[in-house]
Amino acid sequence: MRYSVACLAAALGLALASPALADGDAAAGEKVFRKCQACHAVGDGAKNKVGPALNGIVGAPAAQVEGFKYSKSMTEHAEDGLVWDKETLAAYLTKPKKVVPKTKMSFAGLRKEDDVANVIAYLETFQ
């Protein structure tokens, strides 16, 4: 019984601490997104760069940006149903290669949970 309560408490703590479940600050996310701009674009006229344009990414199925050549690994994950919901984006922005091994994305990830939540909030403004 004690083990189950401890597991439940740990899971609840993780869920409440998850940046995907926290409300982010889009203005702060715009500043953090500067780290992403070398490879990604958002907004009116956004075009694919080294990485795909990210307009409409929150809630979208993976590997669907027209004209972008995705890695085999990303394509396989997309075929398996990968969707960029907030939780998945949070995990990917934290450790991309943990979510999609062998992804072409060379970025190691964002370290701060607030930065992750803020970038997601910023990306949501481009739906």
Instruction: Quote the pLDDT of residue 14.
Output: 46
What separation in angstroms does the CA of 22 have from each of 34, 54, 117?
21, 21, 7
- Predicted model pTM: 0.81
Give the CATH number of the domain where residue 66 resides.
Answer: 1.10.760.10
Residue by residue, DSSP assigns 57-78 as: -TTPBTT--TT----HHHHHHH
Over residues 58-71, the pLDDT tens digits come to 999 999 999 999 99
Over residues 3-60, the pLDDT tens digits come to 343 433 344 444 444 444 468 999 999 999 999 999 999 999 999 999 999 999 999 9
- Domain count of the chain? 1
Residues sharing a CB contact under 8 Å with residue 15, sequence separation 6 or more, in sequence order: 21
Is 29 exposed, middle or buried (CB count within 10 Å of its CB: 0-12, 13-18, 19+)?
A: buried
When computed from its CA atoms, the radius of gyration of the chain, rounded to whole angstroms, is 16
* Domain membership of residue 51 as a residue range: 2-124
Over residues 80-117, the pLDDT tens digits come to 999 999 999 999 999 999 999 999 999 999 999 999 99
